[in-house]
Structure 1
Amino acid sequence: MRLAVLFALALPSVAQAWTIDHGRSSLGFEVSVNGQPLTGGFETWSGEIAFDPAAPGEGSVVIVIDMGSVTSSMAQAAQTLPAAEWFDVPGFPEARFEGAGFILGDDDSFMLPGTLTLKGVAVPLELSGTLVVEGDTAMAEMTAPLDRRAHGVGGGAGDATAGGEVTVTARVVATR
């Protein structure tokens, strides 16, 4: 018995695959336009999550976002965002986030360092928020600050009225 425990401790932990429940998950953003909050989101995105609560540092996330599925609380922004100056959907139809190495806090908090590639420009992005795992279900609420200009997002008539800092927001419910 003692030998079996020693072998079990010596074996590397394997992060488990989790399936995103898109019906209970969302991916969005918030930005100030003319001093007013604008919220938006993406209707179509997919992801792969590998996570073991016993070995969070070995976890990883890949999220692929269909940039053409952008929505906005402001009708004019919904029409403008796909344009070349902003998301350039024809030239860059997808954005991609890749993160690895969950860092868990004592109070359900977590951080996930990663990289967001948007309009072909890869920039570090650190997600932070809360992560609760109950049985075979995990729920994460997270945000990340993003300087849209670092990705070359913006330009034209609306650039001066839109804030440079965007808050990425996400709620992900996943099961294993």
Structure 2
Amino acid sequence: MATTKWLLDPTHSELGFKVKHLMISNVSGTFKSFSAQMETEDTDLAKAQIQLTAQVASISTNNDQRDAHLRNSDFFEADTYPELQFLSTRVEKVDNETFHLFGELTLKGVTGPVKLTVDYNGVTNDPWGNERAGFTVNGKINRKEWGLSYNAVLETGGVALGEEVKISADIQMVKEAVSVAA
């Protein structure tokens, strides 16, 4: 079997998250700078190896003051831990369009297991002859398991931030040019 390499198209991909704020609404954010690569046996997604790296300093919630707070020691400590990484450990095929992606997330110096749901949106050729594959990824983590434990108690007895972080991504991968096996 030939190994097929796929690289992220960053201009057509997004990596985002949501967390409860004041327990009544969500704050959404994205990582503006991230890269990913995927290796498959031919085009078999069930045997994919996936790696993603995001630059923590690229976090954006469309609020400069909040973004600066997220980068400091209360949250991500971007100066000390400049990247978050995901490395897949296995893929489980649910059906032709749905997969469970298991892997290790390293964030703020802590590595732990995650399970994500991946919807395979298909493959197509772009106008320049490149083969592209699209994916929608969803999952959730408990931020405290990665050392993101900052919170504030409200006068009403609740807390400012939820522990559950919903992860979402829309990913477009481009197949590398085929090379001849030795």
Preserved CA contact (<8 Å) 2:151 2:160: no
Aligned residues: 164
Matched letter for residue 148 of structure 1:
R
Q: In the superposition, relative to structure 1, how do residues 45 and 158 fare at CA in structure 2: closer, same or farther (>3 Å)?
A: farther
Preserved CA contact (<8 Å) 2:136 2:169: yes
Q: In the superposition, relative to structure 1, how do residues 15 and 126 fare at CA in structure 2: closer, same or farther (>3 Å)?
A: farther
Preserved CA contact (<8 Å) 1:141 1:172: yes
Identity %: 23
Deviations along 1:77-107, one digit per CA (max 9) or x if unpaired, are 2221001120011110111000133222225
Matched letter for residue 18 of structure 1:
W
Q: Partners in 2 of 1:39 and 1:53 — Cα distance?
A: 36
Match of residue 165 from structure 2:
166
Q: Partners in 1 of 2:114 and 2:44 — Cα distance?
A: 22
Aligned-residue CA RMSD (Å): 2.0
C-alpha displacement of 1:129: 2.8
Preserved CA contact (<8 Å) 1:85 1:155: yes
Matched, 1:175 2:174: yes
Match of residue 179 from structure 2:
none
Pick the aligned partner of 1:90 from 79, 83, 86: 79
Q: In the superposition, relative to structure 1, how do residues 158 and 164 fare at CA in structure 2: closer, same or farther (>3 Å)?
A: same
Unaligned runs of 5+ in 2: 125-130, 176-182
Deviations along 1:29-66, one digit per CA (max 9) or x if unpaired, are 01111121100000111112112465334311111110
Secondary structure at the aligned position of 2:162 is classed as: coil
Secondary structure at the aligned position of 1:78 is classed as: helix
Preserved CA contact (<8 Å) 1:15 1:55: no
Matched, 1:24 2:12: yes
Matched, 1:137 2:132: yes
Preserved CA contact (<8 Å) 1:58 1:100: no
| Richer in helix (by share) | 1
Matched letter for residue 138 of structure 1:
A
Preserved CA contact (<8 Å) 1:38 1:73: no
Unaligned runs of 5+ in 1: 1-12
Matched letter for residue 90 of structure 2:
G
Match of residue 7 from structure 1:
none
TM-score if structure 1 supplies the norm length?
Answer: 0.85
C-alpha displacement of 1:75: 4.7
TM-score if structure 2 supplies the norm length?
Answer: 0.82
